[in-house]
Amino acid sequence: MSLSILFVQILTGLAYGMLYFMIAAGLTIILGVMNVVNLAHGTFFLIGAYVAYTLVSKHLGFWLALILSVGVTAILGLVIERLLIHRVYGKELEQVLLTFGLTFMLSDAAKWIWGTDIQTIPVPRVLDFSISVGSVDFPAYRLFIVAVGGALAVILWLLENRTRIGAIIRAGVDDRAMVTALGINVGAVFTGVFAFGAALAGLGGVLGGPLIGVYTGLDGDILVTSLIVVTVGGLGSWKGPFVGALLIGLMDTLGKVWFPSFSMLVIFLLMVVILLIRPRGLFGREVAP
């Protein structure tokens, strides 16, 4: 393999890793702050992609479709948290059953609305070109995804370390009872965190549409990968899913090139090794009960 092809494969792995980061960041924040096992999180990724596909098909334009789709998934997350999730706080089994059921309901609704054919969101015209990397052309859209993922990591760092809401979230992860005793409206924080996590998943779905397509079953595929990312990176902050997503994205892409029959096995082996060395993941923190 030439250096150009290796570099292109690394860039491809980074692009996929950033998509995994967008969905895993929301998943780990919801799990770390709210202690909610949300198995419906992949559905937000799917709904975001399908809504964007519909809006683009109506000639609304990619960028407006992106904004509206992220807004729709945030509102959907807010409604689900207010109507359903808040009833099962502290009840792990009920959370699993509820979100598992939601996954089936929303997936069937998506199948009924959009059908079972694989759909693709067109790459926005301004990014529909390739850049020469040695002897290989690389799509500029994938570099755009890497840039968005990097910018998102910076925004989450600023949010966590430079804002009051970030301090409340960090305190909530470490000692939820203390946050409640300080008079902070924990219910409102939880609702905001859940809607924000859903919006991140929707963002990943829209940006992933031109790269991996949109199809029924995508929610399950992306959920499994994001759970592996969260397990490897650890709960409670953006750093864990960021590093975990980069590792999984690179190993998945390079594994399919070098070990096409064992690429998933390599990923699971990495997860097992990290769990043996660091049971809470690379950057995992102890979550308040």
When pLDDT is cut at 50, 70 and 90, the band that residue 1 belongs to is low
pLDDT of 195 reads: 93
State yes or no: pLDDT of 66 exceeds 90: yes
**Within a domain: residue 159?**
yes
**pTM for the model:** 0.89
- Burial of 243 per CB tally in 10 Å (0-12, 13-18, 19+): buried
pLDDT of 174 reads: 66
**Within a domain: residue 274?**
no
**Within a domain: residue 248?**
no
**Within a domain: residue 56?**
yes
- Burial of 163 per CB tally in 10 Å (0-12, 13-18, 19+): exposed
Label residue 115 left, alpha or beta by phi (over 0 means left) and psi (-120 to 50 means alpha): left
pLDDT of 46 reads: 93
What's the domain count of the chain? 1
Four-point Cα dihedral 156, 160, 163, 169, nearest 10: 120
- Burial of 232 per CB tally in 10 Å (0-12, 13-18, 19+): buried
When pLDDT is cut at 50, 70 and 90, the band that residue 186 belongs to is confident
Q: Which has more pLDDT, 49 or 156?
A: 49
**Within a domain: residue 272?**
no
**Within a domain: residue 136?**
yes
Taking only the tens place, the pLDDT of each residue in 244-282 is: 899 999 988 888 888 777 777 888 888 888 888 888 888
Taking only the tens place, the pLDDT of each residue in 94-106 is: 888 999 999 989 9
**Within a domain: residue 2?**
no
Taking only the tens place, the pLDDT of each residue in 212-233 is: 989 988 888 898 888 899 888 8
Report CA-CA distances (Å) from 152 to 149, 261, 280. Answer: 5, 33, 24
pLDDT of 202 reads: 94
Report the alpha-carbon distance of residue 48 to residue 149 in Å, rounded.
17
State yes or no: pLDDT of 289 exceeds 60: no
Q: What is the CA radius of gyration of the chain?
A: 19
Which residues span the domain enclosing 120? 18-215
Task: Give the E-state strand segments of 128-187 in sequence order.
Answer: 130-133, 136-139
DSSP SS3 for 39? coil
- Burial of 16 per CB tally in 10 Å (0-12, 13-18, 19+): buried
**Within a domain: residue 96?**
yes
Q: Which has more pLDDT, 175 or 147?
A: 147
